[in-house]
Structure 1
Amino acid sequence: MSPVSLLLLCSLLPCSLCHSQDPFSWLYGRSGQALAALQADRTGGDCPEECDCPPSYPVAMYCDGRGLTSMPSIPERIKYLYLQNNQISAVPDAAMVNASNLVWLMMHHNQIRSDAIGKKAFLKLAKLDRLYLQHNNLTSVPSNLPRSLRDLRLHHNSIDKITAADFEGMDNLTVLYLHDNSISEISSSLKSLGSLTLLDISGNKLKKIPESLPAHLHQLYLESNSIDSVPEGFLGGFSQLQYIRMAHNQLTDKGIPPNTFNVSGLVELDLSFNRLERIPIVSTTLQHLYLQANSIKEFTLGSFCSIVDISNFSRLRTLRLDGNEIGRQDIPSESSQCLRQAFEIDI
């Protein structure tokens, strides 16, 4: 580099940098991130060395994928904390004593154990909105979780039991992921979650549909359990339910009372990979029906339309019947009137 170019570069850099023996030394440093370190305003040096606190976003602290085995110190100003993809195994009581302003806490893909979470670890987090603890080593729901939570993710752990006390007072909880655990019983422990709209409890060990689920659910996912029946009036207690997925269970015709799924408002119903021999009666307002990989032997048009005229027809758009014991030759010719909006029928 010519002296003129070097002089021009120095005119654009802080004076302290231009007196260095190597004018480019400011580009190098810890983990190749000296540029961020140069720019970062540590606000009094309170950002841990193993994390990054960008000046453009002073309320966020990035500690993800750093190989951490323990919790770092958390400045009071931090609202968004990213700790995912580490090897953290414990959350002591004092770990977040200063983190009273946290809104998001991302701790997924670690090695956190239930017996290594302090009973007071989350007590100071009165503003916490999102807590991600999926892909850890939890065997139970952590105690004393913040009642302010709206989005709680606990999937891909080894949780085997859910109690009413686990979610007591969580009036704001909207999203709850519990899938891919070892839960065999839920009973009515989720009934009090009045704001819950999405519940995913697929991939567990449930043998029956939980009792008294929250009335305002919008999406309910129950796939990959061992459920063989649906209780009478199952959908009567829901006012906003639109999506039900019960694929990969043990459902039979005997286990589904007549007209169980003949309710308006339902948009998508997935009953694939079960043991059904007949197409259940569904509402004419249903738009997507998945019945593949059952043992269905007959295409019953009455399951979709009891009356067919100008104003009475099925709104079904997607119908999957592949992997059953019927073929296209079994579809009645008059089905084009009933299923006039279907753009995809797989047999």
Structure 2
Amino acid sequence: MSHNQIDDFGRNPFARNTVLGWLSLSHNRLTRVDARTFRSMRFLRRLYLNDNLINNVGRSAFSAMRRIGTVELSRNKLKQVDTKMFDDLEFCENINLGENQITKIQKNAFVGLFLVAINISHNQITTFEDDAFVNTNNITVLDLSYNNITKIPKESFSGTASYMTELRLQYNNISDLSHISLQFSGIKILNVSYNRIEVIPRRTFPELYELHTIDASHNQISSIARSVFGGLFSIRRMNFSYNKLDKLFGSIFGSLPTLLSLDMSYNRISSISRGMFASLVSLRELWLNNNVISSVFLIPQSLNYLYLQHNNISSIRPSITWPTMNALLYLDLDHNNLGDSMGGGTFQNLNSLRTLSLNNNSITEPPWQAFGELQTLQYLNLDYNKITNLTRGAFGRLPVVFRLNLAYNGMTNISKQSFDGLLQLLTLNLSHNALHHIPNEAFRGCVSMQTIDLSYNYLKKIDNETNGLFDDLLSIRYIDISHNLFGTVSKKLFPYHKWIPYNLQRVDMSYNLMPVLHKNLLIGLQKVKFLNISHNLLNEIRPSVIGNLTKLEVLDLSSNQLEALGNTVFGRGKSLREVYLQNNSLISVPAPVLMSNENLTFLDLSNNYLNHYYEDFVPRVINGTTIRYTNNPVVCDCSLRRVRAWLDTWLGSWRWRDIVCASPLHLAGRALPAISEEELRCSDDRRVQDIFQVNPDVRFRLLGENPDEMDRLDVSWYVTTREDVGGFKVMVYNMSSGKEVAQRPFSYTQRRGFFPDVSRGRYRVCVAVTDSKNRTRALQPSQCHGFYVSHAHAPTPTLIFLLTTLMASLWLR
């Protein structure tokens, strides 16, 4: 019964609904609930009263519903939680009082509950009365977030309230964590984030055997007492990020044997005592990024992930940093001040390291002596540094590096065999540098490389008459040379050899300076599936170039200067699925260009100069193909009537709504689906009008004298238009005198009419359509037919039907 205007129920409205189990009265205008409202509803399990105007819940209002599982009262006008409001609802699982105006929770408000989640978030609570939660067994979740709470006295939870599992206090005004009573031996999750906590004093946490998560992020903590967490015997995760800590020393964390994750990022930490974390024997993840740390401390042996980016680290002392036995897999040192200080031994003992990130450290030369110790390194990030020159064997021997990132370095020179020793390198990123030339043997030995990114450089040519830059990349799959200065495709640009099975599948040549595509494109791209040549200067595509790329599935030629396409430009391949031709200067698209690509599913012709939606290829590619035609100067005249009918029949107006008329002036800016056929005007040439005539609203089914009663005219018809049809108007004219002899209206469901007392002579019958506003639509020639009434030799209706069908067919031709 939700989303109505109910404001009152009277007395006992559900008296006869004793077995009702689920009731929703949300989004109404109820103002109160009392004991009489739900009397006799003993089996109700779910009750939803949220989003009403309830400001008063009477005592024992829910006492009859002993089996209730959910009571939903959120977003009402409640100002307090009264004593015994939920008395004896021992099977209740969820009570939601969120987003009200509650300022006070009275004594014994939640007495007698068992295994319940209570939500009182988004209210205005500041303090609690003594025994507000007295005798509340096994609260699973208590959500007090988004209030104005400054303290929770121990007396509020007196009695048996000792098994709470989750306490949510985020977004309050707590300034001292010791003001929060935590005498809950079963608590598992404590969230006090987004408060004003400044200090965590000693004895804040009693002996809690099940607490595994503490979130104290986004506070103002500047001091944490020593050994304050010593009584947390199951702690797994602690979050102190976004605070004001400046030093970490002594035994703040002690030797917590169960701690797995510690986040102290976004503080002001400048110094850390050497053995600060050494005793955390189970620590797996440590976040210390975005601080002002100047030196690296001794890491725990079990640590897997260490985040130290955005600090002031200028050097690493391996002898006091990396223990002989360690399990480090990921090390992030981005945005520090390491420069070229890394020498041999810097990463000594990191025998299990998989990922090393050194972005933005002002490194000018790869420290291959340091990398040589990392025999298990798989991912190396060196982007945003100042590496301008790569010498031969710049990275030493890193036999299992899979990904190397050297982007944003301002690199100007790469020597031959610079990557020698990277035997299993799969991905190399050299984008956003200042490379003008790369020698042909630069990638010698990189036989496993599958992806190379050379975009955003100044390359014009990367091959010679006999060798190409990519010839050594026997496993290459994806080449990105976009945003460079290539003016042509040379014979050795892409790798090819008749005895080497190269398998290049993706190529991006966008944002270059190529004006023509010729047969050199075929060399090395016989297996390519995705080809992007957008944003170049293309004005010509030579015959049999793209058409011979038989594996090509996606082709992007957008944002070029193409004015015309040859009839065989895309060939007869069956793989082509998507073609992008938007933002060119195309005036026409010949039908053969696309007719032979039977699996085409998407064609983008938007933002060109196509002034007609060409009907010759529409029926061939329309089935299953999405055609985008936005922003073309379409001339909307009667020649589009056939196209409109095809589009309506095969696609429906929603698939071609982006065809917008540019002329004539009275149709400019309007979408073709919104234009009626009558508005698509023809010239005064009768022959043009006959060819592109408007589809009639109705067609005759039978017309002639009734065979049973010779003096009665019989007319029947059927509807052929998709326009608004509200009814019909049938008019009979005497062709000798020109006068109207009969006229009758018919409703939409009537498709047959009789006209008695028709004398001998020639007549003309017209069936017009009226819309839902009783306006008569224009008559089309085929909606009127003439016939002769003789009484003595009147033809049968069947013969008339055949004759009229023949006449209509001849008329259309």
- The residue aligned with 1:208 is 461
- The residue aligned with 2:487 is 228
Percent of aligned pairs with the same amino acid: 21
Matched ranges for 1:256-335 at <5 A:
256-258=518-520, 260=522, 263-279=525-541, 281-282=545-546, 283-305=549-571, 307=572, 313-327=573-587, 330-335=588-593
Please say if 1:107 is aligned against 2:370.
no
Please say if 1:338 is aligned against 2:620.
no
- The residue aligned with 2:386 is 137
- State the Cα deviation string for residues 285-325 of structure 1 (Å, max 9, x = none): 211111122222212241211x5xxxxx4422221222222
Task: Give the deviation of 1:91 after TM superposition.
Answer: 3.7
Assess if the C-alpha contact under 8 Å between 2:417 and 2:445 holds in 1: no
Counterpart AA for 2:496: G
Task: Give the deviation of 1:109 after TM superposition.
Answer: 3.4
Give TM-score, length-normalised by structure 2.
Answer: 0.37
Distance 1:336 1:231, change over 3 A: closer
Find the aligned partners of 1:246 and 1:152 in 2 and give their Cα distance.
22
Find the aligned partners of 2:534 and 2:462 in 1 and give their Cα distance.
17
Moved more, 214-223 or 203-212: 203-212
Counterpart AA for 2:424: N
Find the aligned partners of 1:139 and 1:262 in 2 and give their Cα distance.
31
- The residue aligned with 2:305 is 60
- The residue aligned with 2:245 is 30
Distance 1:326 1:27, change over 3 A: closer
Task: Give the deviation of 1:197 after TM superposition.
Answer: 0.4
Counterpart AA for 2:311: R
Distance 1:123 1:342, change over 3 A: same
- The residue aligned with 2:767 is none
Structure with the largest fraction of strand: 2
- Of 421, 427, 452 in structure 2, the residue corresponding to residue 199 of structure 1 is 452
Assess if the C-alpha contact under 8 Å between 1:137 and 1:158 holds in 2: yes
Task: Give the deviation of 1:130 after TM superposition.
Answer: 0.9
- The residue aligned with 2:206 is 10
Question: Gaps spanning 5+ residues in structure 1: where?
Answer: 21-25, 308-312
Task: Give the deviation of 1:54 after TM superposition.
Answer: 9.7
Task: Compare relative contact order (CA 8 Å, sep 6+) and give the higher one, 1 or 2.
Answer: 1
Find the aligned partners of 2:491 and 2:528 in 1 and give their Cα distance.
17
Counterpart AA for 1:275: L
Question: Gaps spanning 5+ residues in structure 2: where?
Answer: 1-152, 159-180, 185-204, 212-225, 232-237, 261-275, 606-813
Moved more, 70-79 or 172-181: 70-79
Please say if 1:178 is aligned against 2:442.
no
Distance 1:18 1:291, change over 3 A: closer
Please say if 1:249 is aligned against 2:512.
yes
Find the aligned partners of 1:79 and 1:197 in 2 and give their Cα distance.
24
Distance 1:241 1:31, change over 3 A: farther
Moved more, 235-244 or 166-175: 235-244
Counterpart AA for 2:338: I
Distance 1:52 1:71, change over 3 A: closer
- The residue aligned with 1:88 is 338
Give TM-score, length-normalised by structure 1.
Answer: 0.80
Assess if the C-alpha contact under 8 Å between 1:191 and 1:212 holds in 2: no
Moved more, 9-18 or 27-36: 27-36
Assess if the C-alpha contact under 8 Å between 2:505 and 2:527 holds in 1: yes
Task: Give the deviation of 1:27 after TM superposition.
Answer: 8.6
Structure with the largest fraction of helix: 1
- The residue aligned with 1:310 is none
Distance 1:299 1:19, change over 3 A: closer
Find the aligned partners of 2:540 and 2:469 in 1 and give their Cα distance.
28
- The residue aligned with 1:159 is 411
Counterpart AA for 2:245: R
Distance 1:333 1:83, change over 3 A: same
Moved more, 146-155 or 34-43: 34-43
Distance 1:294 1:244, change over 3 A: same
The number of residue pairs the alignment matches comes to 331
Find the aligned partners of 2:582 and 2:302 in 1 and give their Cα distance.
51
Q: Does the residue aligned with 2:496 lie in a helix, a strand or coil? A: helix
What RMSD over aligned residues (CA atoms) do the two structures have, in Å?
Answer: 3.7
Structure with larger Rg: 2
Assess if the C-alpha contact under 8 Å between 1:128 and 1:146 holds in 2: no
Find the aligned partners of 2:569 and 2:336 in 1 and give their Cα distance.
51
Distance 1:294 1:36, change over 3 A: farther
- State the Cα deviation string for residues 29-54 of structure 1 (Å, max 9, x = none): 83699789963693458999857999
Assess if the C-alpha contact under 8 Å between 2:404 and 2:428 holds in 1: yes
- The residue aligned with 2:398 is 147
Find the aligned partners of 1:232 and 1:27 in 2 and give their Cα distance.
58
Task: Give the deviation of 1:334 after TM superposition.
Answer: 3.7
Assess if the C-alpha contact under 8 Å between 1:304 and 1:314 holds in 2: no
